[in-house]
Structure 1
């Protein structure tokens, strides 16, 4: 088995004829939007996915080529949806936020019944960027760039060894409680303590 494919999907992909399916879910402000590459609504993974294909053969959604590299660098994918009324552009912009989650699943359908075979696998997972709008009059096309999760490796970590950050990870832990006070604490270092009993006059104390 390769890349986590189920035996059913792997066997289907090896056939000469294949009915591929794509599922896309994107997190927006008001909730998740779930779309698939077919016609009408379909239920998979306990969720309802809306089709981006029309009976006349028009396909409103598209996905750019998914690329992988051997050096582990983060690659981006582009999700596009056309046919959106121009009057809804502002609503689309209000719904989109950077760094929301987006997932792309690749699967297959049974060639006789059309049912979704178990189980589509996650071919891409990443974070959304700001959308771009292409207006063509009455309708527009919205394209959202999705950065691979590998982009996390390029981001600086902003956690600090402070009590506030520690509470986010382990609430109630007081290991960093006095870190803030140390910033203004004055400590005399290297000054020896008084010698007892007193050293007789003329006698020196050997330094350690």
Structure 2
């Protein structure tokens, strides 16, 4: 659940401070921290790199219904050699986005408002004819995990972690290779 808007952030919005989006995307190759401006920006002990118009986030929709929202993080103009080094398994990592106000000293007004806290699903890479590479990462919010199949199978070893004395699943391997004759009763 998103924290409420703080008094400092509300005051910055009323004062019409410049707005920016801050994005933090976890990745097996290292977390990416980007913002919608140009140059580096310090916030929360981290440096966010400016992506300017090369970074995109699909429109973020908030509804009152229980719905799965799909969000797409994109970055264009990436060096193809860097793209070749990236691991493509991003499933279940986090993607977060904050709406921030920038004060006159080019720093983030305290307590940006978090608008997205999503689970990453997959990423794709594309290259144009001129060699410019694009990375696109799809994330899902809401009850996405309820519609996905579990990524694990119940085994005897997992059963014993929870119930050390239970040996019921020890017989499963023997049943897998057994031929049974089914006849009507």
* TM-score past 0.5 threshold: yes
Q: CA RMSD in A?
A: 2.6
Q: 2:139 aligns to what? A: 146
Note closer, same or farther for the CA distance 1:119–1:90 as it changes in structure 2 (3 Å cut). Answer: same
Distance 1:11 1:104 in 2: 20
Q: 2:177 aligns to what? A: none
Distance 1:159 1:118 in 2: 45
Q: Does 1:8 align with 2:1?
A: no
Q: 1:31 aligns to what? A: 30
**Does the 8 A contact of 1:127 with 1:149 survive in 2?**
no
Note closer, same or farther for the CA distance 1:165–1:37 as it changes in structure 2 (3 Å cut). Answer: farther
Distance 2:65 2:7 in 1: 29
Q: 2:117 aligns to what? A: 125
Note closer, same or farther for the CA distance 1:160–1:87 as it changes in structure 2 (3 Å cut). Answer: closer
Superposed, which structure 2 residues align to 1:65-80 within 5 Å?
Answer: 65-80=59-74
Q: Structure 1-normalised TM-score?
A: 0.70
Q: Does 1:179 align with 2:166?
A: yes
Higher relative CO (Cα under 8 Å, sequence separation at least 6) belongs to 2
Partner SS for 1:123: strand
**Does the 8 A contact of 1:77 with 1:146 survive in 2?**
yes
**Structure 2 unaligned runs (5+)?**
172-185
**Structure 1 unaligned runs (5+)?**
54-58, 168-172, 185-208
Q: 2:82 aligns to what? A: 88
Note closer, same or farther for the CA distance 1:14–1:166 as it changes in structure 2 (3 Å cut). Answer: farther
Note closer, same or farther for the CA distance 1:166–1:123 as it changes in structure 2 (3 Å cut). Answer: farther
Distance 1:144 1:42 in 2: 23
What is the count of residue pairs matched by the alignment? 168
**Deviation digits for residues 121-162 of structure 1, max 9, x if unmatched?**
221011112222231122111111111142123345668697
**Does the 8 A contact of 2:160 with 2:167 survive in 1?**
no
Distance 1:5 1:81 in 2: 29
Partner SS for 1:35: strand
Question: Which has the larger displacement, 80-89 or 99-108?
Answer: 80-89
Partner SS for 1:9: helix
Query: Could you say which structure has the larger radius of gyration?
Result: 1
**Does the 8 A contact of 1:134 with 1:141 survive in 2?**
yes
